[in-house]
Amino acid sequence: MTAPLLDVQGVSKAFPIRRGGSVHALRNVDLTIGEGEAVGIIGESGSGKSTLARIVVGLEQASAGRVRFGDTYIDTLRPAARRKIQRNIQMVFQDSRASMNPRMHIADIVAEPLVTHRLPVNRSIIIELLERVGLGERYANLFPHQLSGGQRQRAAIARAVSVRPKLIVADEPVSALDISVQAQVLNLLKSLQEEFGTAFLFVSHDLGVVRFFCDRVSVLYLGETLETGLTQPLLAAPEHPYTRALASSVPTVRSAARRERIVLHGELPSPENPPSGCSFHPRCPERIGAVCSTVDPMQFRTRAGTAKCHLLDRRVIGDLTT
């Protein structure tokens, strides 16, 4: 197999805090994305999913581990070289309004990556981009606040695809939008992905959105990857109890699609001192015993990919039954 486009190797991130100690936002996370592949990161707030996205685009530095893009380790690049690489790694933010300079016209905002990377840019190129994302020429000379949330996110997407990057990191790109607009924007992203063959790192808390958009998915909890694998089989039959709970907690409209609800107790423990053993054990409805609170589970193969849970360890299960 050829080298993946993005290879995140054992990345950890600890934020020092004022009263001493540190918050472990990410702990030894691996992630690969192939050319043109869409990989989803699912997690609740505090899971570290946004931190991972920010490390990939260079807004944060990893405390440990490496990040390779193509055949370059981008985590240790000097600023000038890193800026050059960014031509191939663009980002779509959750808050489109905040991500745009309020004093710039939409046309200039969309043109910025092209200008930055010294690519040809003129009015017709910008108009073409705007039209591609479903905005007409009349939006070119408007300011961001004059657009609706959905239109702004379209403009943000036009900005991201303008330089035809190999990877787009999208951090909750549709979670601020209304359901009908959300669907429009997701369809747009999907068609662009198919057209340009762009790879995506797609961060979301919404399983439905990830299911629609992503080929593979990683489930993050307290900065750890608990389960990874191909989206369809993983979400259809999650093997990690956390993924199961997460999937069941999404309310669905049609009664046919409804699963048995698993309501987790308690809340996300403090990432300042994560639980011993399996980090999910304090809330796990399927906890099997002392092993969960003492031993850190290994990664086990599943049908969809891998999961990090003692339930999957034949030895532990065997001990229990005998």
Partner 1 sequence: MSHLFEAEDLIVNVRRVGNAVDSVNLSLDAGEMVGLVGESGCGKTLTAYSIIGLLPDGVSASGRVRFEGNEYDLARPNQLRPLRGGSIAMVSQDPLTAMNPVARIGSQLDDVMRRHLNLNRRQRETRVLDLLDRVGIPSPRRVARAYPFELSGGMRQRALIAMAISCQPRLLIADEPTTALDSTVQAQIMELLAALVAEDGLAMLLITHNLGLVAQYCTRMCVMYAGEVVEQGRSEAVLERPAHPYSRALVDCLASLDADVARLATIEGVVPPVGSGLPGCRYADRCRFVQPGCRSEHPTLLPVRDGRAAACLRVDDIEREVDMNAGMQA
Partner 2 sequence: MAETTTTTESVATTAAVAASTAPPRTSVIGRIRQDWIASFACVIVLIYLVIAIGAPWLSPQSPYVQHLQQILQGPSGAHLLGTDGFGRDELSRLFVGIRSSVAIGAIVAGVSTSIGLLLALVAGYLGGIVDFLISRIVDVGLAFPTLVLSLALITAMGVGARGTAIALVLGFIPFTARVLRSAVLKVRQEGFIESAQVTGVHPLRVVIRHVLPNLVGSITVQTTLVFAYAILGEAGLSYVGLGVQAPTPSLGNMIADGQTQILQVPRLTIVPGIAVAVLIMCLLVIGDALRDAADPLTVR
Which positions lie near partner 2, rule CB under 8 A? 57-59, 79, 82-87, 89-91, 93, 95, 98-104, 112-113, 116-117, 145-146, 159, 169
Strands 224-230 and 300-301: unpaired
Query: Which residues inside 222-241 make contact with partner 1, applying CB under 8 A?
Result: 232
Q: How far apart are CA 100 and CA 228, in angstroms?
A: 33
Residue range at the interface with partner 1 (CB under 8 A); choices 8-16, 62-70, 199-207, 294-302? 199-207
Q: List the x/- string, 72-111, binding to partner 1 by CB under 8 A.
A: ----------------------------------------
Q: Does 178 bind partner 1 (CB under 8 A)?
A: yes
Q: Give whichever of 156 and 268 is closer to partner 2, judged by the CB atom.
A: 156
Phi-psi label, residue 15: left if phi above 0, alpha if psi -120 to 50, beta otherwise:
beta
Shortest distance in whole angstroms from residue 252 CB to partner 1: 5
**254 counts as binding partner 1 under rule CB under 8 A:** yes
- Among 252, 273, 276, 294, contact with partner 1 (rule: CB under 8 A): 252
CA–CA distance, 180 with 161 (Å, rounded to integer): 23
Regarding 257 and contact with partner 1 (CB under 8 A), the answer is yes
Residue 129 in contact with partner 1, rule: CB under 8 A:
no
CB of 294 to partner 1, least distance (A): 23
Residue 144 region by backbone torsions, left for phi larger than 0, else alpha for psi between -120 and 50, else beta: alpha
Q: Which is nearer to partner 1, 5 or 189 (CB)?
A: 189
Site for partner 1 in 25-64 (CB under 8 A): 44-45
Contact between 205 and 175 (Cβ < 8 Å): yes
Q: Is 156 helix (H, G, I), strand (E, B) or coil?
A: helix
Q: Write out the E strands in 93-215.
A: 167-171, 199-204
- What's the min distance (Å) between Cβ of 222 and partner 1? 13
Could you tell me which of 279, 293, 280, 283 has the C-alpha nearest to residue 263?
Answer: 283
Classify each residue of 95-108 as buried b or exposed e, where b means 16 or more C-beta atoms within 10 Å of its C-beta: ebeebbeeeebbbe
Residues 206 to 225 in contact with partner 1, rule: CB under 8 A: 206-209, 211-212
Question: Which residue from 282, 291, 284, 285 is spatially nearest to 310, judged by alpha carbons?
Answer: 291
Q: Which is nearer to partner 2, 87 or 164 (CB)?
A: 87
Q: Which is nearer to partner 1, 29 or 147 (CB)?
A: 147
Strands (E) located in 70-187: 72-73, 89-92, 167-171
- The answer to whether 168 contacts partner 1 (rule: CB under 8 A) is no
- The span from the first CA to the last CA of the chain, in angstroms, equals 42
Q: Which residues bind partner 1 (CB under 8 A)?
A: 44-45, 148, 178-184, 186-187, 190, 205-209, 211-212, 232, 245-246, 249-255, 257-258, 261, 263-268
